[in-house]
Structure 1
Amino acid sequence: MTARNAARKGWMTAALGAALALGGCAGGSDGPAVFVPVAASTVPVAAASPSETYAVAIPPAQIDAAVARLDQLAADIMRRSSIPGMAVAVVKDGRTVYAKGFGVRTVGAPEPVDADTVFQLASLSKSVGATVVAGLVGRQVLSWDTPVAAHLPGFRLSDEWITQQVTVGDFFAHRSGLSAHVGDQLEDLGYGRQDMLDRLRYVPLDGFRTRYAYTNFGLTAGAEAAARAAGLDWATLSERTLYQPLGMASTSSRFADFMQRGNRASPHVKTEAGYQAQYQRDPDAQSPAGGVSASANDMARWMSMVLQKGSFQGRPVVEAEALLRATSAQIVSSPPRNPNERAGFYGYGFNVGTSPSGRVKLSHSGAFLLGAGTAFSMIPSAGVGIVTLTNAAPVGAAEAMNAAFDDLVEFGALTRDWYEAYAPLMQGLYAPEGTLAGQPPPAQPVAPLGSNAYTGIYANSYYGNAVVETAGSGLVLKMGPAGARRFALRHWSGNTFVIDLSGESATPGSISRIDFRPGVSGLSDSVQMEFYAEDTTRGVFTRTALQP
């Protein structure tokens, strides 16, 4: 993954913090939102300790009034975003006080979304998975400080000392030293979970326990160690530890279970013709980080448990102290850019921030560029949580819905137009990858060498083999397990070709340079691939055989 790609995908934590740092205004309760300044209370609210004192009180009726506005908020965001479907649930003091669906499960089909429609959660899975691990920590199966190597024989990172020291908590806090989104392109090529965990040893490390870098497969390594400690596969562990005790009957960490649900939301991407259900993302390889599927009603049960300090309907599910570690700040994820800005933090699988009212807020967003946008937000001091699930690629709808509701809970009025704030933040996700993206081919390209100069097998320790072979009058590049991913090589100029990219890590219009490097024999000794430049060889594949 290119540095630009990794940076723009860091929105899952950074965008929420950036938008929350913006100033505010307020609006009326009927019709389009009209924004006027909010006068915040300056009278501190009595609390158990000084660190639990809040600048703004929340009158009891204010939360009920916020819930009463949800239909209006949802209708407004559905209209402005044009997304196909959305489900919203709110909990208060351990009870679900709102659960409703809007729109349709699939464009062109009549079935409506309701509160039991199952959505892919994307990165909300990280917070759910953290509570699974907290369940094991509470039972003393392992601790957040357990080294991953203790339960993953053969596991290695590129630094032997870090290999022995890195813990389950380090991976869940994204502070292992791995680069952001490492492994995502391996997943797009078709490699499985164990393949990717094995290949982490080839990735350079930077900033162990000092730098935050959001990684799906780093967190997956921590979760896999926890599952091995419990003697179960991750999906079964999640069922037994969390889903079954909470009665989350529609929730699973297996993609096959999601596909078997009758009441299931299809993922959608935006096209010139509007939203279309063109792809189906299979996230099993990174299940602990992005592979959970659930309904809004089921997520309400999970939020109730978190807000009730690990209990559900009076029954303990997760030990409170183990859960508190997960929901406490473990590393700075969004450093302030000036002295007036609040910093953002990450716990173990949770964003941990401070709202403008001075209250702790737990949150996370999730996204599949192939068609899912999700978010939750919880205010523990108010006992309130909201989750919004959508079946469309992220445009800020889920985050805007939650932020507007939080405003109404905390201030009794909207502090800004949240959809207008979030939508531009999401646009960077859709910038095509590649230095040649959007450029016309050279008008007078340099002629290539003969096909036999390029055909052959090229090896890379991280990505595996890349096979170049003839196909008709052109060349094709095959990568991934057994060459499962096939790319047509288009000549650009001289020994430079390009491939068109597709998948979760590359938006439409993305292309990658493919630069062959001929040796003294005139045959290419190696090839450098721009898009695959996150390992120690910087995307260089070395020829190992003349013929495929």
Structure 2
Amino acid sequence: MTRRLLPFVALAAALTLVAGCDSAPTEAPQSTSAKPQSDVPPPLVPAMALPDGAVDNAVAKLDGMVQDLLDKTGIPGMAVAVVHGGKTVYAKGFGVTDVRTGAKVDPDTVFQLASLSKPLGATVVAHQVGQGAVGWDTPIVSKLPWFALSDPAVTQMVTVGDLYSHRSGLPDHAGDLLEDVGYDRRAILERLRQLPLAPFRDSYAYTNFGLTAAAEAVATAAGKPWETLSEEVLYRPLGMTSTSSRFADYEKRPDRAVGHIHVDGRYEPSYIRNADAEGPAGGVSSSANDVAKWLAMVLADGKAGGDQLVDSEALLPALTPQSVSSPASEPAMRTGFYGFGFNVGTSSAARVELSHSGAFELGAGTNFLILPSADVAIVALTNATPAGVPETLTAQFADLVQFGEVREDWYGLYNAAFVAMEKPLGSLVGKQAPANPAPSAPPASLAGVYNNDFWGPATVTEAGGSLGLQVGPGGDVWPLTHWDGNVFTFSFVSENSPPGSVSKATFDGNRLTLEYFDEEHNGVFVR
């Protein structure tokens, strides 16, 4: 086959795939009863028309679906909003903001959005791209000369778009554990250069701090902090008066949903999640009513109140596939993609879906879903350890809009996936300590400062024969419990360490190996 024929063959194949044909087009027989043929380009044609009153009928069932999910799971609170035809057509709160006070959730209750911050931030970047301040293809080092990855060639090439589509090669969730032990944004970003890289632009791994580095580059180009830039170009123009990228603002809101962690079958407000270090990726707080204003803008291709707030050409790349996030495991399976800050997929009705979830183990689960071809979007915010509840609701709603009925056991699918994420970590979880353990070296001889280039110092303290462990600038000291010989255990709860997690601390002369910090084989500390 010659090179010049390839474009035509590719075009024919694409049209055959989308139109569902299995042979070359032929002249159709004339029929007076034939329906008029559509002149809509095949890639825009869904598999079936929407049912009559699709959105209205789906909205009418939301109250019952939300209450069913609350009853089924016991999560404390939830707020939901739907946008259609350029306006909010549904906005309600359910349950309570805090189980201790019983205060009711309403559509203006402020929730932590977690990773819904990413698509919100992507529209901030798109605004700046439209203004010509940066491009999706702007190299990070052109704005942050101090930034580096472990491969010098990749360092020079990696762009804003690469990091917003998780195709830089950084390991999955790179830097998250550094945040857990108290490092700030700059310290974490500078340590990313010590991590191994997968193939650049040929691999996908979700990274909060990779995306945060891109946002920092955009903010530097604007000459102001990311939090201020987001407020000035997005939140304020859209009238999102309850929205902020600063944790301090969330804490001051009188009507805010407190995070609840899932422990022993119940939800408790036991921990506080401050995500300022990864603010562009997870630090936004907002209300259902405010997010609805943003969803209306996205559905309107960047327009709000008659003005073009975000240039549509700058926004389009964020809403279209940039990397493969969920490769198909069989030929008939639809592939999942990631744009710039947005999940991009295709529903079983052959309609494009834009979505994103947010999840804090310490107490937040959020999701939005957009069906552009139906001009509808829904957001669901909860204040509890993720259990698949917001994803279930938005998927049920999307089914109702497209088919007039819920066609999958969405709760069964999503809940199973999220419950698996609550599984405690550590090789000793569920195991019994030895009945007759070998003695350790004298505790005082194990005390000292053990250094690690990536994690910083691990300080082992001794008092009255008991040992404690401190890693990072956060200041928490975890008791070390003897297990066997020079192996000890330590436990703590954090965003990435669910309740019940148990980690090993193994002393070997002047070396200390901490299992929890050894995922990338860099958990050895030397005294």
Structure-2-length-normalised TM-score: 0.92
Give 1:197's aligned residue: 189
Residues 1:252 and 2:244 are matched in the alignment? yes
SS at 2:413's partner residue? helix
Give 1:511's aligned residue: 502
Q: CA RMSD in A?
A: 1.4
Give 2:26's aligned residue: none
Given candidates 467, 485, 498, the residue that maps to 1:494 is 485
CA-CA distance at 1:46 after TM superposition: 4.2
Query: Residues 489-528 of structure 1, C-alpha deviation per residue, up to 9 Å, x if partnerless?
Result: 111111111111310001111111111112xxxxxx2111
Give me the whole-angstrom Cα distance separating, in 1, the residues matched to 2:519 and 2:317: 32
SS at 1:342's partner residue? coil
Given candidates 108, 111, 116, the residue that maps to 2:103 is 111
CA-CA distance at 1:112 after TM superposition: 0.7
Is the contact between residue 138 and residue 160 of structure 2 (CA under 8 Å) also seen in structure 1?
Answer: yes
Greater RCO (Cα-Cα under 8 Å, separation 6 or more) = 1
Is the contact between residue 44 and residue 54 of structure 1 (CA under 8 Å) also seen in structure 2?
Answer: no
Bigger drift between 243-252 and 424-433 goes to 424-433
Is the contact between residue 51 and residue 403 of structure 2 (CA under 8 Å) also seen in structure 1?
Answer: no
Give 1:356's aligned residue: 348
State the identity %: 52
Given candidates 437, 445, 449, the residue that maps to 1:457 is 449
Give me the whole-angstrom Cα distance separating, in 2, the residues matched to 1:244 and 1:517: 56
Give me the whole-angstrom Cα distance separating, in 1, the residues matched to 2:300 and 2:457: 50
Change in Cα spacing, 1:44 to 1:96, as seen in structure 2 (3 Å) is farther
CA-CA distance at 1:93 after TM superposition: 2.1
Is the contact between residue 454 and residue 522 of structure 2 (CA under 8 Å) also seen in structure 1?
Answer: no
Is the contact between residue 44 and residue 56 of structure 1 (CA under 8 Å) also seen in structure 2?
Answer: no
Is the contact between residue 116 and residue 356 of structure 2 (CA under 8 Å) also seen in structure 1?
Answer: yes
Residues 1:61 and 2:53 are matched in the alignment? yes
Give 1:17's aligned residue: none
Bigger drift between 396-405 and 410-419 goes to 410-419
Residues 1:444 and 2:428 are matched in the alignment? no
Given candidates 158, 166, 172, the residue that maps to 2:164 is 172
Give 2:7's aligned residue: none
Given candidates 450, 471, 484, the residue that maps to 2:475 is 484
Residues 1:162 and 2:154 are matched in the alignment? yes
Structure 2: runs of 5 or more not aligned: 1-34
Within 5 Å, which residues of 2 pair with 1:114-513?
114-272=106-264, 274-481=266-473, 484-513=475-504
Counterpart of 1:538, as a letter, is N
Given candidates 499, 502, 513, the residue that maps to 1:528 is 513
Q: Which has the larger radius of gyration?
A: 2
Give 2:91's aligned residue: 99
Runs ≥4 residues deviating over 6 A = none
Change in Cα spacing, 1:46 to 1:382, as seen in structure 2 (3 Å) is farther
Change in Cα spacing, 1:45 to 1:335, as seen in structure 2 (3 Å) is farther
Give me the whole-angstrom Cα distance separating, in 2, the residues matched to 1:365 and 1:87: 15
Give me the whole-angstrom Cα distance separating, in 1, the residues matched to 2:45 and 2:249: 44
Give me the whole-angstrom Cα distance separating, in 1, the residues matched to 2:64 and 2:477: 47
Is the contact between residue 444 and residue 465 of structure 2 (CA under 8 Å) also seen in structure 1?
Answer: no
CA-CA distance at 1:77 after TM superposition: 1.1
Is the contact between residue 365 and residue 374 of structure 1 (CA under 8 Å) also seen in structure 2?
Answer: yes
Give 1:10's aligned residue: none
Counterpart of 2:124, as a letter, is V
Query: Residues 168-189 of structure 1, C-alpha deviation per residue, up to 9 Å, x if partnerless?
Result: 1111101111000111111110
Counterpart of 1:71, as a letter, is D
Bigger drift between 198-207 and 45-54 goes to 45-54
Is the contact between residue 366 and residue 372 of structure 1 (CA under 8 Å) also seen in structure 2?
Answer: yes
Give me the whole-angstrom Cα distance separating, in 2, the residues matched to 1:539 and 1:272: 31
SS at 1:492's partner residue? strand
SS at 2:53's partner residue? helix
Structure 1: runs of 5 or more not aligned: 1-42, 519-524, 544-548
Give me the whole-angstrom Cα distance separating, in 2, the residues matched to 1:403 and 1:218: 29
Structure-1-length-normalised TM-score: 0.88
- Number of equivalences: 493
